[in-house]
Amino acid sequence: MSWIKMRGTLLTNPKVIGVARALLQDAEFLAWSGWGAPGVRVTQNTDRDVTRDVTGDAERHGAASQPVTGVTLALLPVVTRVTVGALLPLWSMVNECASPDGVLSGADTLVLDTICGVPGIGRALAKVGWIEILPNGEGVCFTNFEEHNTVGRVRGSSAKTGAERTKEYRERKRLERDASRAVTVTSQRDHREEKNREDRNTPPNPPQGVTSQADGASPPIASTPPSTADEICGAIRARGVADANPSNPELAALIAKGVTRETFESAADTCTKARPPKGMPYLLGIVKRQLGEAAVIASAVGFQAKAWDAGRDSIEAKARELGMAPWNEHDLSPGRENFLAYTERVRRRVEEGGRAEQGGRAEQGAQTGHAQQAPRMAHGVPA
């Protein structure tokens, strides 16, 4: 006989219905429920009545003899639901208290009736084969109970602690990360190998504007040695940029302009650190942008000279240029000169120097004019 789990389908389980039918034939249950009282008759358009004298059953179980009449099949759905409700506390108790083989020591049908709260349910369970009354008062055996259930003492001895469950969870996550990382590395390696095969099978292209001698043209004025491009591409690939191609015309032009290997390696590091990682076109864009910025800085296009009063260092430098002493920040006297007053004093000297310079240029111009007029006057020529 097999046991089943506590599920919603218990209401239609044949064993549960069998227990309900056995209860409807039990005099003690009928007396408890009131359906077996004299004069009680339940009818509901049924084609047959379940009428039975349970005097023999009552005598065997020590209950008063009472003929049962008028109990119909219309009560069966109700008693089936009573049975399901009664089984829940019983099976919960067996889960906690029974031995590993499903034996509840010292119990009998009366104990089961008390646990369920329904008289006669112990005899009904025995009738359908869900329990076996052991001899000599040894108890009750719940047949094949362990097939779908684990009693408390076994469950407690085999249960995992919270630390064990946490350790298993972390180990499972670690294995998932390792598997994902292995797939990513394999994919990147396959991509690099494919690009390398393409590089070996693709003939190198000459730089733009350079024709071969086979076409009758003169050799290029300046060209990049193949070994230089190969070495730089090898260094770029070593940094993680797999699609570096020594025959790239932009690469050849940049090398011809004097871009160093270290510059390409630095750009390759930037590409590999990006998410997602970038390839050779992105690397060449970095180098070209850096080259353009360096040209702008070299030509000073868009840059303005720093004003002499932009900060303390430049103000004191201007003061030294004008022969003035630096500001004494250690002077704590009441009448000391603060830095703002010192700056204004330097500014006046700068303005005075500018006016003096303009006056000197004007005086020099006047002297030059007099010198030019003197020969004319000597010859009697009016100015």
Cα–Cα distance between 261 and 256 in angstroms, integer? 12
Cα–Cα distance between 125 and 110 in angstroms, integer? 12
The first and second tokens of residue 91, run together, are 């099976």
Cα–Cα distance between 64 and 81 in angstroms, integer? 26
| Maximum CA extent, the chain | 173
pLDDT at 205 exceeding the cut of 60: no
How much is the average pLDDT of 224-232? Answer: 72
Question: Residue 247 is which amino acid?
Answer: S
Cα of first residue to Cα of last residue in the chain, in angstroms, is 144
How much is the average pLDDT of 39-51? Answer: 45
Give me the residue label for tokens 């020590």: 62
CB 15 within 8 A of CB 128: yes
Better-predicted residue by pLDDT, 36 or 253:
253
How much is the average pLDDT of 328-333? Answer: 85
CB 311 within 8 A of CB 274: no
When the pLDDT of each residue in the chain is averaged and rounded to a whole number, the result is 75
Question: Residue 120 is which amino acid?
Answer: G
**Residue 378: per-residue pLDDT:** 47
Cα–Cα distance between 44 and 53 in angstroms, integer? 21
**Residue 291: per-residue pLDDT:** 87
The first and second tokens of residue 301, run together, are 């296009």
**Residue 210: per-residue pLDDT:** 44
Residues 375/379/381/383 CA torsion (nearest 10 deg): 20
Query: DSSP label at 327?
Result: P
Question: Residue 345 is which amino acid?
Answer: R
Burial class (CB in 10 A: 0-12, 13-18, 19+), 285: middle
Using one digit for the tens of pLDDT, what is the confidence trace for 88-106?
898 888 888 888 778 888 8
Strand order in the sheet with 131-133: 103-105, 139-142, 131-133
- Contact partners, residue 270, CB within 8 Å, separation at least 6: 278, 283, 286
| CA 163 to centroid of chain Cα atoms | 23
CB 116 within 8 A of CB 84: no
Beta strand 103-105 pairing with 139-142: antiparallel
Using one digit for the tens of pLDDT, what is the confidence trace for 263-275?
999 999 999 999 8
**Residue 381: per-residue pLDDT:** 45
pLDDT at 215 exceeding the cut of 50: no
Beta strand 139-142 pairing with 131-133: antiparallel
CB 327 within 8 A of CB 339: yes
Using one digit for the tens of pLDDT, what is the confidence trace for 124-155?
999 998 888 998 888 999 887 766 666 555 55
The first and second tokens of residue 75, run together, are 């009560």
Using alpha carbons, list the distances in angstroms from residue 267 to 37, 54, 138, 174, 243: 98, 98, 85, 33, 14
Query: DSSP label at 331?
Result: -
Cα–Cα distance between 304 and 296 in angstroms, integer? 13
**Residue 151: per-residue pLDDT:** 58
Better-predicted residue by pLDDT, 22 or 187:
22
**Residue 330: per-residue pLDDT:** 85
CB 243 within 8 A of CB 195: yes
pLDDT at 285 exceeding the cut of 90: yes
